Amino acid sequence: MPEDRTEQPHIVTCTAPVNIAVIKYWGKRNEDLILPINSSLSVTLHQDQLKTTTTVATSRSFQEDRIWLNGKEEDITHPRLQSCLREIRRLARKRRNDGDSGVDSASLSHKVHICSVNNFPTAAGLASSAAGFACLVYSLARVFGVEGELSGIARQGSGSACRSMYGGFVQWIMGNKEDGKDSLAQQVEPETHWPELRILVLVASAERKPVGSTSGMQTSVKTSCLLKHRAESVVPGRMVEMTEAIRKKDFAAFAELTMKDSNQFHASCLDTYPPIFYLNHVSQQIISLVHRYNKHYGETRVAYTFDAGPNAVIFTLQQHVPEFVHVVQHFFPPETNGADFIKGLPVNCASLSEELKQGIGLEPMPKGINYIISTKAGPGPRVVEDPTQHLLLSDGFPKKTM
C-alpha cells in the first residue's frame, strides 16, 4: 500500500433504530456489566421515522479517540463509551489472533473519531440512548471488521440498546451467568411478521425527564418490593404469553399485556422510595382515552405504553389508525391543526361520530400533545453505502453543516 494512503481514514457510516419495550426492563443485578433483574421484550421502530446515524473513522494520524454527538464534542472517557470501545477492540484482537482475515489489523492500533446524530429531537424524550449505543457498536464493529453477536456489547452501553441490534420483535434474555455472557438479545419475529401493526408516538412534552432511567432503577431495586415481585414472579410468565401473542398476531392479548406491563412498571416507580413519577396529567388522560375508546367498541383496538417519561407510544392495527389519530386530535386540540401535527407514515382522513365523542366523554385538553409520529415495526442496524452520507470529512472532523 503506498505510504500516503495509510493517512486516509477508514470511514464507515451506519444507522440503528429506536425500540419500545412491551415487557419493560427496570432494574440491574450488576451495574457495571448492565445485567438486568428480568428479561424484556420490545418492538423495533422503523428507521424511516426514527433513527440514529453514526460515522466512525480510524486513521494513523488521529491523536486520540474523540466523539461528537448531535453537533457537540462530548467526553469520550464516559465509562459506558469506554466499555463499548474496549470490548469491540478486544473482540477484533481476538479474531485477528484466531486468524480471521476480515479483521483490519492496521486499524486496531489506530484511534477513532465518532460522530452521531438523531433524526428526531433528543429533547422529545424518546429513547435515544438505545439507538445511539446500538449504532455506535454496530459501526465500530464494521470499521474493525468484527462480525457476529454484538448485542452483549451494546448492552454494556445501555441495557435497552441490546434490543436495538435486531429488527422486528426482540427479546433480551436476562441470563444467569455472573460474567453476563448469556445476557443477550434475540429476534423473536422479523419486522415482516405482523404488517398490519402500527405504532403512534404521542410526543407529550419537550421537557427532559426528571429522573434518568439509570438512577431511577437503582433506587427502585433498593427500595421497591413490588419490583422484586414483578421481576421474580410476574415477568417470566408474561414473556411466554407475549411471545405467544406476537407469534399468533393476537392483538387483544398483545395489547392487554403491553398496557398491564407499562402500568406495573409505573406502579413500581410509585412504590420506589422516594417515589418516581414519569407520567403526567397528559399521560393519564391518554390512558383514560384508550380505555374509553376500547370500551366504546367492546374490544381492545388500541394499547398504550410509557417509558421513563410522559410520551405515550400507542399500538394499534392499520385499519384503526385514521379514526384513533382523529380522536387524539379532537381530545388534545393542537395549536395548529395543520399537517405538522402528524409526522411519519401518512394517515388518511376520518370523521368522528357524535356517538363516539360522547362515548369517550372526556374534557378536551388543548396543546397536551405536541405532535404524533406515525410508524411501524422496522429492521435492525444497517450500513450506509453512499459515502456522501458520512458525517465525518476525510480529515476526520465533522461536516460543518451539522
**By the criterion CB under 6 A, which residues form the site for ligand DP6?**
21, 24-26, 34, 40, 127, 129, 158-160, 213-214, 307-308
Gyration radius (Cα) of the chain, Å: 22
Which residue's C-beta sits nearest to ligand DP6? 159
Give the position of cell 489506530: 110
CB neighbour class for 49 (10 Å; exposed up to 12, middle 13-18, buried from 19): buried
CB of 273 to ligand DP6, least distance (A): 19
Nearer residue to ligand DP6 within complex by CB, 21 or 202: 21
CB of 172 to ligand DP6, least distance (A): 8
Of 286, 339, 276, 341, residue with least CA distance to 316: 286
CB of 74 to ligand DP6, least distance (A): 16
Nearer residue to ligand DP6 within complex by CB, 302 or 308: 308
Cis amide bond preceding 274, omega within 30: yes
| Non-local CB neighbours of 98 within 8 Å, separated by 6+ positions | none
Around Cβ 65, how many Cβ atoms within 10 Å?
A: 16
333 is written with which cell numbers? 386540540
Nearer residue to ligand DP6 within complex by CB, 172 or 331: 172
Nearer residue to ligand DP6 within complex by CB, 70 or 218: 218
> At 307, is the secondary structure helix, strand, or coil?
coil
Nearer residue to ligand DP6 within complex by CB, 18 or 302: 18
> At 32, is the secondary structure helix, strand, or coil?
coil
| Non-local CB neighbours of 242 within 8 Å, separated by 6+ positions | 22, 23, 41, 254, 257, 258
Nearer residue to ligand DP6 within complex by CB, 9 or 380: 380
CB of 268 to ligand DP6, least distance (A): 10
CB of 20 to ligand DP6, least distance (A): 7
CB of 196 to ligand DP6, least distance (A): 24
E-strand spans in 325-383? 342-344, 371-375, 382-383
CB of 23 to ligand DP6, least distance (A): 8
Nearer residue to ligand DP6 within complex by CB, 42 or 374: 42
CB of 24 to ligand DP6, least distance (A): 4
17 touches 134 (CB < 8 A):
yes
Nearer residue to ligand DP6 within complex by CB, 15 or 183: 183
Q: Give the distance from CA 187 to its chain's centroid.
A: 15
Distance in angstroms (rounded) separating the CA atoms of residues 308 and 331: 24
Give the position of cell 503506498: 2
**Alpha-carbon distances of 397 from 113, 114, 131, 151, 347, rounded to whole Å:** 8, 9, 22, 28, 40
Task: Tell me the backbone φ, ψ of residue 148, rounded to 5 degrees.
Answer: 95, -160
CB of 78 to ligand DP6, least distance (A): 12
Nearer residue to ligand DP6 within complex by CB, 94 or 181: 181
